[in-house]
Amino acid sequence: MSSVWLPCGDYHQNYAEDQGWWQSRFIKGKMLLLLLVVFVGIPVFGGEYGMSVGTMIGYTAMGALGVQLLIGYSGLLTLGHAAFIAVGAYTSTMLILQFPWPQFLLDLGLAYPVSLIVAGIVAGLWSVLFGLPSVKVKGFYLILTTMAAQFITVDFILTQYISQIGGRGQAFSLPPGTIKIGPWVVDDELSVYILMAVLLTLMVIVLANLLRSKPGRAWVAIRDNDIAAEALGINIVWYKLLSFFVAGFMAGIAGAFWVCNTAALSPEHFQWFLSLWLVGVILIGGVGSIQGAIFGSIFMVLVMELLQMAAIPLAAYFPKILVDFAYIKDMAFGLAICAFLIYEPNGLAYRWWQAKNYFNLWPFSY
């Protein structure tokens, strides 16, 4: 229904027109309104708290997009995606702190943008390394290999070796004013939020276009039936590894972004529960949908914020509730997944699709 409300008599004459994103003034108006809400409405009316929540939603969505690509579009199960986010975060941080940048690059504010791209490439290549077993195994066995990526990367390499560089203990902190993009210094809540919104928008655009291209169609074919896809001439080894690289690249970008939103970078930010959390996000939002990654992120972050807001006044009567809040979050996460799998297995994106169709087909919505 993307071409709804085109002028009477207009029709598509080629594939490019048929696949166009903004095909009518109504859709253009919706997208413009969305951009205004994201880039203007939340910073102006949400205040610092609204922007911090929005930043957390965006960071979660950036991580979930890679998981969505692997599980939702390629059929490759993963439970170690936090490892690739960590690789991106530490690559960017180490480049900024340890690499001998020429002074003119520092003056131009190019150190962080370059480290952002390098972080994505390194995380993508690291993801491919642990994606190699997908050539021979799938399902439960692939889950185990991706879990190995989590424990080898975060619990061993980063914790025992990388975190010890420079004698900083286990945490890296970037001096104020270090993260610059040209003359723009990313050093407050607004700048961090705007950077998140720009990166997330770019990632959604790139992934959406990839899925509409030859690799995207190959990934879906492999997901649906890899034997039939190979019989049709699709190089499933190449496209599986490409899927791991793209997912790892996006995870690396998310990790490099997280550097500017935390006072100190530590392996504790990338524990295995983050990998499980991202899988839960796409299950709740809807598997096989870019909107699902975003809807799932909004739902989970807002639910946790509401639980925290409810726990604060209850602490006057139950002092232990704030101490146990981490376990309450885990319980709510598990209950949410169970509830969605039972009552809404297609996720929030499916409900969004139904609502759009009801509106577009009215008064014949039945």
Per residue in 103-114, pLDDT (tens digit) is 888 888 899 999
Our measurement of the distance from residue 252's CA atom to the centroid of its chain's CA atoms, rounded to an integer in Å, reads: 10
Q: In which band, very low, low, confident or very high, does the pLDDT at 8 lie, cut at 50, 70 and 90?
A: low
Burial class (CB in 10 A: 0-12, 13-18, 19+), 278: buried
Our measurement of the distance from residue 89's CA atom to the centroid of its chain's CA atoms, rounded to an integer in Å, reads: 14
Handedness of CA 245, 249, 250, 254 (dihedral sign): positive
Q: In which band, very low, low, confident or very high, does the pLDDT at 316 lie, cut at 50, 70 and 90?
A: confident
Q: What is the dihedral of CA 64, 65, 68, 70, to 10 degrees?
A: -110
Whether 120 has a pLDDT exceeding 80, the answer reads yes
pLDDT of residue 10: 65
pLDDT of residue 187: 85
Peptide bond into 133 cis (omega under 30): no
Q: Determine the CATH number of domain 24-361.
A: 1.10.3470
pLDDT of residue 276: 94
Q: What is the dihedral of CA 177, 182, 184, 190, to 10 degrees?
A: -100
Q: Which two tokens stand for residue 320?
A: 């232990």
Q: How far apart are CA 112 and CA 181, in angstroms?
A: 7
Q: In which band, very low, low, confident or very high, does the pLDDT at 366 lie, cut at 50, 70 and 90?
A: low
**What share of the chain in percent tops pLDDT 90?**
63
154 contacts 234 by C-beta, under 8 angstroms: no
CA distances from 305 to 28, 64, 299 (A): 32, 19, 10
pLDDT digits (tens, 9 = 90+) for 176-195: 778 899 889 998 899 999 99
Task: List, as own/partner pairs, every contact residues 200-204 make where C-beta atoms lie below 8 angstroms and the sequence separation is at least 24, other chains included.
Answer: 200/58, 200/61, 200/62, 201/38, 203/62, 203/65, 203/250, 203/253, 204/65, 204/290, 204/294
Q: In which band, very low, low, confident or very high, does the pLDDT at 161 lie, cut at 50, 70 and 90?
A: confident
**What share of the chain in percent tops pLDDT 70?**
95
Q: Which residue has the higher pLDDT, 279 or 330?
A: 279
* Mean pLDDT taken over the chain: 89
Q: How many helices and strands, by DSSP H and E, does the chain display?
A: 17, 2
pLDDT digits (tens, 9 = 90+) for 262-312: 878 888 899 999 999 999 999 999 999 999 999 999 999 999 999 888 888
Which of these, 192, 194, 244, lies nearest to 70 by C-alpha position? 244
Please state the domain extents for the chain: 24-361
111 contacts 91 by C-beta, under 8 angstroms: no
Whether 246 has a pLDDT exceeding 60, the answer reads yes
Q: How far apart are CA 146 and CA 143, in angstroms?
A: 5
Its pTM stands at 0.92
What average pLDDT does this structure show over 207-225?
94
pLDDT digits (tens, 9 = 90+) for 15-38: 777 777 777 787 888 889 999 999
Q: In which band, very low, low, confident or very high, does the pLDDT at 196 lie, cut at 50, 70 and 90?
A: very high
Q: In which band, very low, low, confident or very high, does the pLDDT at 139 lie, cut at 50, 70 and 90?
A: confident
The DSSP bridge partners found for residue 265 are 172
Q: How far apart are CA 7 and CA 264, in angstroms?
A: 55
